[in-house]
């Protein structure tokens, strides 16, 4: 998504660092909006037929109370006057987000279908571990193999594991590790500090055949600077991910007991180069040239009041802020 053009001048004549002249010249940061649902398949043991594990679309029960506020208007933030260095989230809604994995809040577990309270708690814990390793682990962020997350995927989902491994080994448009993992090229950018801001929700309900269905929806805000020595300009890349899990009954399906199976996942990214499929996010800076033309209405990557639409669209749009 390209950054929007528009006035960034304040009363004292200074400009907000994120809406300066580069944006008005249409030579600013690009970002990508890609929303693609991947559907896993569980294999029925008795019949030997493939059964589609559908993405649960209405998982809304068991919402942790302290996660409220996604749809509530917050007090306006003061305008930014300079690129933040020591405070890379200044002027952004992310300043109110939790730090790292603290923003992945687990709902209170209770028995669901055939699973006990402790078993449900373990499934939720595994979901949090996968999200944290995929989006917060410094090793994953600098492009290393997300071993913890991969090990949490049920090995009896061979097609899912194969696709994820292919994306990490030889990424392309059809095998893109960014569908589930957040990765930056360490030769291109480095983190601006050691904090990633996180906000979101995890919910669960009884799904098909008495199996718990877990729905997660989180936004991760990554501040970065160029990897070059002496670089100081800070930008942010905002990643929103929806990941759904199910726990299949090993008596009926080819599934590992207690291991959550990926049912579907989708994502949106604000501030990354469009139409680049090398397995890395590419944050854009004030001197970056857009890789693709932006189109469509501007969207706010911090707006969590709407559900992510489940479609197969890809493209390059505009964002109102990062």
pLDDT > 50? residue 180 = yes
Domains of the chain: total? 1
**Residue 79 clears pLDDT 80, i.e. is over it:** no
pLDDT, tens digit, 9 for 90 and up, residues 115-158? 999 999 999 999 999 999 999 999 999 999 999 999 999 999 98
The pLDDT of residue 100 is above 80: yes
Mean pLDDT of the chain, nearest integer: 77
Question: How does DSSP classify residue 293?
Answer: -
Q: Is residue 20 part of a domain?
A: no
| Residues 114 and 120: beta-carbon distance below 8 Å | no
This prediction has a pTM of 0.77
Which tops the pLDDT comparison, 276 or 81? 276
Residue 64 pLDDT:
38
Scan for tokens 């990941």, then name that residue: 243
Contacts of 61 (CB under 8 A, 6+ apart): 203, 204, 205
Q: Is residue 60, in this structure, part of any structural domain at all?
A: no
Nearest to 294 by CA among 316, 272, 274, 276: 316
Answer yes or no: is pLDDT of 239 > 70. yes
Determine the structural domain holding residue 175 and report its residue range: 31-54+91-288
Sequence-ordered list of residues with C-beta below 8 angstroms from that of 207, at least 6 positions apart, any chain: 56, 113, 213, 246
Rounded distance, CA 319 to CA 121, Å? 37
Considering only residues 38 and 101, tell me which one the structure prediction assigns the higher pLDDT.
101
Evaluate whether residue 82 is within a structural domain.
Answer: no
Residue 190 has pLDDT above 60, yes or no: yes
Would 299 be classed as within a structural domain?
Answer: no
């Amino acid at each position: 998504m390209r950054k929007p053009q528009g006035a960034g001048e304040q009363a004292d004549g200074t400009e907000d660092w994120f809406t300066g002249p580069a944006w008005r010249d249409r030579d600013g940061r690009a970002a990508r909006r890609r929303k693609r649902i991947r559907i896993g398949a569980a294999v029925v043991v008795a019949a030997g037929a493939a059964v589609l594990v559908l993405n649960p679309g209405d998982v809304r029960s068991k919402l942790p109370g302290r996660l409220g506020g996604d749809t509530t208007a917050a007090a306006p933030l003061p305008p930014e006057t300079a690129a933040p260095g020591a405070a890379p989230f200044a002027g952004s809604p992310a300043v109110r987000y939790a730090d790292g994995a603290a923003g992945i809040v687990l709902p209170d577990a209770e028995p669901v279908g055939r699973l006990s309270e402790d078993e449900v708690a373990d499934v939720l814990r595994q979901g949090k571990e996968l999200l944290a390793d995929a989006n917060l682990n410094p090793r994953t962020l600098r492009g290393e193999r997300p071993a913890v997350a991969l090990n949490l995927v049920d090995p009896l989902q061979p097609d899912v594991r194969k696709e994820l491994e292919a994306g990490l080994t030889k990424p392309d448009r059809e095998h893109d590790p960014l569908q589930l993992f957040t990765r930056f090229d360490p030769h291109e950018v480095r983190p601006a500090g050691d904090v990633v801001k996180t906000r979101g929700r995890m919910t669960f309900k009884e799904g098909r055949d008495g199996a718990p269905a877990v729905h997660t929806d989180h936004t991760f805000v990554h501040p970065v600077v160029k990897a070059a020595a002496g670089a100081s300009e800070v930008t942010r890349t905002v990643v929103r991910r929806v990941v759904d899990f199910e726990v299949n009954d090993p008596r009926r399906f080819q599934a590992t007991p207690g291991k959550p199976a990926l049912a579907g996942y989708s994502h949106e990214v604000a501030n990354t180069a469009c139409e680049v499929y090398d397995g890395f996010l590419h944050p854009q800076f004030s001197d970056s040239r857009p890789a693709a033309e932006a189109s469509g209405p501007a969207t706010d990557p911090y707006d969590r009041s709407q559900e992510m639409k489940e479609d197969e669209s890809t493209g390059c749009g505009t964002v109102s802020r990062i």
